[in-house]
Structure 1
C-alpha cells in the first residue's frame, strides 16, 4: 500500500496532506448485501460464526454456523420484515446487546431494502424516543423484553403507523421466529427486488453519535461507504483478516466500528463469536482462541498491570520490571528494523528476551488464547511504550483512528509498519489534511454523506473535507499523530494555549487512574481532576497491605465523590510529577483532586464505548474545580 505525501495548494496557504489510493473498487456491487452473497458463492460451507446458545456458559458449547446457514436465516427474516409491512427505505431500529442475532437482523434489513438504525442497549428512554422520532423508525428489533418495552413506547409516539417490535429473546408470537414466519408466502422474486432496490449511494444506516439526547446528530452512512471500506480494509490487512482466522466481537454492535469489523470478517471468511459481557472475554479466550482482537487501551493497561501484580505476589517484582523493560526494548528494535531491514539486536537483548519469553511472555500470550497474531487498539490514545511492550512480547498492536462519520477506520498502522505513538497512514481511498489550526480533515470512501439534520452539516465540512474536531500532525511518511480535541484546548488567564492530551495521556498510564482531566480555562495555572479505577485501587491496596484501610467502591446513579486518602494522593502524585516532567512549566499541573465516579454509561459521564464526556463531568464538578484555585490547602 502506497501513501502519497504532498503540499496541497490552497488559498493563501499550503496544507500538509497524505493520501492512499484505492486498492479495490466497488465494481459488481449493487449494495452491501453483495458482501455476503459473494462470500456465499465462494465458500458456502465455511464456518462464519461461532454461536453460543442462550444461557450456556462461556466454555460452550459453541455451535458453528456456516455462511449458507447464515444467509438462509437472513433471507427468512427479510421475508418476515417485508410481510410485516416494511417498504424500501423504511427505518428499522435495532436495540440489543452484542449477539449473533444482531448480525442476522442487520443483514435482513438490507435484504428487505430497509435502513438500519442502531440504538445502544443501555440507552435511556429519552434517547430511544429521540432517535426513533428523528429517524422515523417504523419497526423495532429488541434484544430483551425490557428493550422491547422502550421501543414500543417510542414507536407509539410516531405519526406513521408502527409495525411492531420483535425480540431476539424467545417470546411466543413476538420474537424473530414469529416475525420470520410471517414471510413464508413472500416470493423469491419479491425478496430479490427488495434486496437490489438500494444502490451504492443509498443510505444503509443512520448512526447517532454518542451522547445523543435532544439534538440528534444522525450520521448517514451509505452502502458505498460500507462496501469500499470493507473491501479495502480487507485488502490492506491480509495478514490480519483471513479465512483461517477468527475473532471475538465484544464492542457494542450499535457502534459503527464493531459493525464494520463484522462485515470485514464476514466478507473475508474470518469466523466471528459475539460476547455481550466484557467480563466473559478473558475466560472465552482459552475456548475460542482468536487470532485477532479489537480492544481499547484500557484493556491492555489492565493486562499489563495484572501481570505485574501476579509477579509481585510471587516476589518477582524486580524480575518483572526487567522483563517489561526488555519487551519495550525489543519493540523499539522491531520499529528500527522497519527502517533499517538489516538491523540486528544486541546479543544481550536477544538473550534477555529469550529468558523472559519462557518466564513471562509465553504465559501472557497463553492468557490471550495462544493464537493471537495482532491486536487492534482504538477509541482512545495508546501509550507508545505500552504499544512497544505488547509488540515486544510477540503480540503486535495495530493502532488506528476513526469516527462514526468516517465509517470507523480513517487511518491505521499496517502489519510490518507499526510506529508506536502514531495512528498510522490514511486508509485506502482516503486523504487526510491538516488545517492551519492543526485540525485533522478527512475526505475519502469512508466519509459519510452528511448528517440527517442538514443544519448540522454547515460547519461539518470545509472545502469538501470533513472536520474531525481532532488535532494532529503528519510525519514524513504520512503517519498521523493525534494531539487532542480542538474543543478541549484550554486558554489560561495568561493567554497560554494548552492541549490537554499529553498530560492526560501520561497520567492515565497509571493503572490506578481511569481518566485524567486537565482544567484551567481562564485560570492562572492548570489543575487536574483524576478519576480513580476502584478495581485497580483495591488490588493495589491488597498488594500494599492496605486492604483494610483503603477500599473504594464506585458510586451509582451518576454519583461522584472526592477521595482524600493520603496514601492514594502520594501514589498519584508520582504519576502527576512524571507527567509534568515531560512538559513545559506553563503546561504543568500545580494542583489536583482525586475523584471516584459512576463510570457506567447510565451514570451519564461516559459514552457507550466508555469515552469520558468532558462537558458532563465538568458540569458536575464546578465547585471542586474552583477549590483548586481558591483554597491554598488544595492538592499541589
Structure 2
C-alpha cells in the first residue's frame, strides 16, 4: 500500500478547544466582530430583472438576519439537535437559513431542488425532519405532504419567497417576526450548545450507483476543512476577492466554499441558473470561480467557434497549442526561469489577439479557477493556465466534507488532483482504491447498515480508483464499480477513454460498455445545445427534443463523423484491448434527474437500464 499525508495547519488547539472555535457558528460570529461593515454578499436589487444592479450585504446585516430567523426558530419550538430541511435553488436566503438553523442548535438536511417527491419524502422520513424551508411555492408544496405525515412533531414549512398578497404567509420575514420576544442571551446560549463533535448536517448522497445514503458531518468536519483550506489557499480566498456560487448549495462543496468565504471575508454572489453566469461575469467581476470541467470546455469551444466564424480557425489552433505549451512551461520551470524567446513572442501575440479577450469574458479579474465534480482533461487545464487563469483541480466526496486533495496555487500539476489537503491522508489499497482519513472524513452514515463496507483499517473507502505520483499527488483512474471485465478476461478501466471523448465540445457524457462481451462499445450522449449549433442546417425534425426520462438515438451523419474523430483520438491513447469498436449517439435532457445528478454526474446504471435495445444492437451482426 502507498500513502500520502499533509499535516494540519490549524489543529486541535483551535478547533473545539477552550477559547477556540466551538462550532461552525463561530466562523460567522468572529468575522462579524472583526469586520462588521465588510461586504459579505452581493444580492440582486430586483431578482426578477437580470439587468438590475447588485447591492452589497455587510457581515453585520447578514448576521442580524441570521440571528432574527434563528430566534424565530426558537420561538416556534425548534429544539437542540432537531433536523431541519432546506430545499431551494442557490440563493442568498439559502445561506441565511443554513446559518440560522445552526444558530438555533439544529441539524441541516439539504435536499436538492430537483429531487423527486419520493426522494423528498424518503429524506424527511429517514432524517426525522421537524421543519422545512422551501425556496418557492413549488418547493413548499413538495415538502408539505411528507412533513405533515410526521404528525405532531412537525413545525411546518416556511418559504424563502416573500408574500405577494394579503393573508398569512409562512416566509422567513414572518418567522423572524415571531422571534422578536426571544432574548439575545437565550439565542447565544442555544448557539453555543453544539460542540465540535455534534452533528452539523446530514447530507444524502446523490446516488449515482445505488440507494442514497445519509452522511452525518460534524461541526469539527466543517471547521477542520474551512480553517485549514483557508490557511492553505490564502492567495485565492481573501477579503479583497469575490466569487459567484452557482453550484447547488445542497451539495457540500458549495456549502463548504460558502463557509470558507464567510470566514475569510470573501464576497459571495449566488446564481440559481448556471447558464446566466457568463452574462453576470462582466458585472460582478469575480476573482475566483468554482466550476465543473464542462464549463471550461464550453468557454474554450465558444472561443474556437468565434475564431472560425472570423476565418481564423488555423490561427486559433496555433493559439491553443501555444497556451498549452506555455502552461506546461509554467508548471515545470523554476519561478525565475524565462520561456524560450520564440514561445514568448508567440504567447505575447496570441495574448493580444485571443487570451486577453477570454480573460475579459470571465470578468477580467479571475486569478484562479477551481475545477471539481469530474475529471479535468490535462490539456484543458494547461490551456487555461497558459492564457493566465490557472485551474486548481481538486478531489473529494460528500463523506470527506468536500475537498480531500487539491493542487496548490503555486504548485499545480495538470492531470493530477493534487496532494492531500492539510489534516488528510490518502492511501492506495492493493486493488487501487483510494482510501481516506482525516479532519474532514465523516465517522459514518446515519443508517448503520451502510457502514458495514464503508471503512477498512480506519480509512473510508471512496470507491474511486487512483494512484500516487512520485510527489504524492493523486491521479484519478476511474470508479471501482465502472470497471469492465470482457468475455476474454480483460479488465478495463474506462475513465481515460471516456474523459478523452468527453473533452470534445459536442459530447456531454461517454459510457463505455463491454461487461461480459467480446469487444468494447459505447453510448455517447451529446450536448443538445452544441448539437443544435453544430447541425444548424439539419431539419429540426431530425433532432427531436427528448422528453424527461427519454433517451433518443441521434441519426446525423455529420455529427457522427465529428464524434468518430473524437473516438479515434481516444482509441489512440489506450491499448488495443481497451479500444471501442462501435458506438451510438444518444440525446437526452441533461437536466433530467433520472439520468444526471444535481452535480452533473451521469447515472450510468439508469442510462444502461433504459438503453438495453440500443446496447444489444451494438453487438448484433
Q: Normalising by the residue count of structure 2, what TM-score does the alignment of the two structures yield?
A: 0.97
Q: Offset at 1:488?
A: 0.5
Contact kept in structure 1, 2:125 and 2:150, CA below 8 Å: yes
Gaps of 5+ in 2: none
Change in CA separation of 1:491 and 1:212 when aligned onto 2, cut-off 3 Å = closer
The answer to whether the aligner puts 1:552 opposite 2:546 as a matched pair is no
Contact kept in structure 1, 2:549 and 2:592, CA below 8 Å: no
2:596 to 570, 583, 606: 606
The answer to whether the aligner puts 1:293 opposite 2:283 as a matched pair is no
Contact kept in structure 2, 1:537 and 1:551, CA below 8 Å: no
For 2:210 and 2:171, the matched residues in 1 are separated by 30
For 2:387 and 2:336, the matched residues in 1 are separated by 21
For 2:76 and 2:564, the matched residues in 1 are separated by 61
For 1:101 and 1:522, the matched residues in 2 are separated by 50
Contact kept in structure 1, 2:72 and 2:178, CA below 8 Å: yes
2:552 is matched with 561
The answer to whether the aligner puts 1:362 opposite 2:353 as a matched pair is no
Q: Offset at 1:456?
A: 0.3
2:404 to 391, 397, 410: 410
2:200 is matched with 204
1:8 is matched with none
Change in CA separation of 1:441 and 1:554 when aligned onto 2, cut-off 3 Å = farther
For 1:304 and 1:216, the matched residues in 2 are separated by 35
For 2:114 and 2:264, the matched residues in 1 are separated by 31
2:230 is matched with 234
The answer to whether the aligner puts 1:624 opposite 2:614 as a matched pair is yes
My pick for the range that moved more, 398-407 or 156-165, is 156-165
1:191 is matched with 187
For 1:215 and 1:362, the matched residues in 2 are separated by 46
2:440 is matched with 446
Change in CA separation of 1:351 and 1:551 when aligned onto 2, cut-off 3 Å = farther
Alignment of 1:208-223 (within 5 A): 208-211=204-207, 215-223=211-219
1:124 is matched with 116
Contact kept in structure 1, 2:377 and 2:415, CA below 8 Å: yes
Show CA shifts across 1:346-393 (max 9, x none).
Answer: 111100000000100000000000000000000000000000000000
Alignment of 1:27-106 (within 5 A): 27=17, 28-106=20-98
Show CA shifts across 1:297-316 (max 9, x none).
Answer: 00000000000000010001
For 2:569 and 2:390, the matched residues in 1 are separated by 26
2:6 to 13, 16, 20: 20
Change in CA separation of 1:427 and 1:288 when aligned onto 2, cut-off 3 Å = same
Contact kept in structure 1, 2:261 and 2:267, CA below 8 Å: yes
For 1:343 and 1:587, the matched residues in 2 are separated by 40
For 1:377 and 1:433, the matched residues in 2 are separated by 23
2:368 is matched with 374
Aligned residue pairs total 611
For 2:554 and 2:534, the matched residues in 1 are separated by 15
Q: Offset at 1:552?
A: 3.1
Q: Offset at 1:628?
A: 1.1
Contact kept in structure 1, 2:281 and 2:361, CA below 8 Å: yes
For 1:527 and 1:397, the matched residues in 2 are separated by 32
The answer to whether the aligner puts 1:247 opposite 2:243 as a matched pair is yes
2:393 is matched with 399
Show CA shifts across 1:418-473 (max 9, x none).
Answer: 10110001010000000000000000000012100011001000000000000000
Contact kept in structure 2, 1:207 and 1:218, CA below 8 Å: yes
For 1:395 and 1:279, the matched residues in 2 are separated by 21
1:345 to 333, 339, 342: 339
The answer to whether the aligner puts 1:463 opposite 2:457 as a matched pair is yes
> SS of 1:186's equivalent?
coil
Change in CA separation of 1:212 and 1:167 when aligned onto 2, cut-off 3 Å = farther
Change in CA separation of 1:138 and 1:549 when aligned onto 2, cut-off 3 Å = closer
Q: Offset at 1:569?
A: 1.5
Contact kept in structure 1, 2:467 and 2:475, CA below 8 Å: yes
Contact kept in structure 1, 2:542 and 2:555, CA below 8 Å: no
Change in CA separation of 1:16 and 1:446 when aligned onto 2, cut-off 3 Å = same
Contact kept in structure 2, 1:336 and 1:343, CA below 8 Å: no
1:615 is matched with 605
The answer to whether the aligner puts 1:284 opposite 2:280 as a matched pair is yes
Show CA shifts across 1:30-50 (max 9, x none).
Answer: 100000011111111100000
Contact kept in structure 2, 1:92 and 1:138, CA below 8 Å: yes
> SS of 2:330's equivalent?
helix
Q: Offset at 1:206?
A: 0.3
> SS of 1:239's equivalent?
coil
2:518 is matched with 524
Change in CA separation of 1:283 and 1:130 when aligned onto 2, cut-off 3 Å = same
1:574 is matched with 565
2:575 is matched with 584
Show CA shifts across 1:587-632 (max 9, x none).
Answer: 0001111111122134x000011100000101001111111112x3
1:334 is matched with 330
Q: Offset at 1:54?
A: 4.6
For 2:608 and 2:169, the matched residues in 1 are separated by 47
Q: Offset at 1:58?
A: 3.2
Change in CA separation of 1:554 and 1:404 when aligned onto 2, cut-off 3 Å = farther
Q: Offset at 1:211?
A: 3.4
> SS of 1:601's equivalent?
coil
My pick for the range that moved more, 159-168 or 519-528, is 159-168
For 1:601 and 1:35, the matched residues in 2 are separated by 36
Contact kept in structure 1, 2:209 and 2:605, CA below 8 Å: no
Q: Offset at 1:541?
A: 2.5
Contact kept in structure 1, 2:105 and 2:190, CA below 8 Å: yes
Contact kept in structure 1, 2:466 and 2:477, CA below 8 Å: yes
Contact kept in structure 2, 1:127 and 1:212, CA below 8 Å: no
For 1:344 and 1:550, the matched residues in 2 are separated by 55
My pick for the range that moved more, 226-235 or 52-61, is 52-61
The answer to whether the aligner puts 1:165 opposite 2:165 as a matched pair is no
> SS of 2:619's equivalent?
helix
Q: Offset at 1:55?
A: 3.1
Q: Offset at 1:149?
A: 1.0
Contact kept in structure 2, 1:205 and 1:221, CA below 8 Å: yes
Q: Offset at 1:57?
A: 2.8
RMSD of the TM alignment (CA)? Answer: 1.4
For 1:261 and 1:402, the matched residues in 2 are separated by 13
Q: Normalising by the residue count of structure 1, what TM-score does the alignment of the two structures yield?
A: 0.94
2:532 is matched with 538
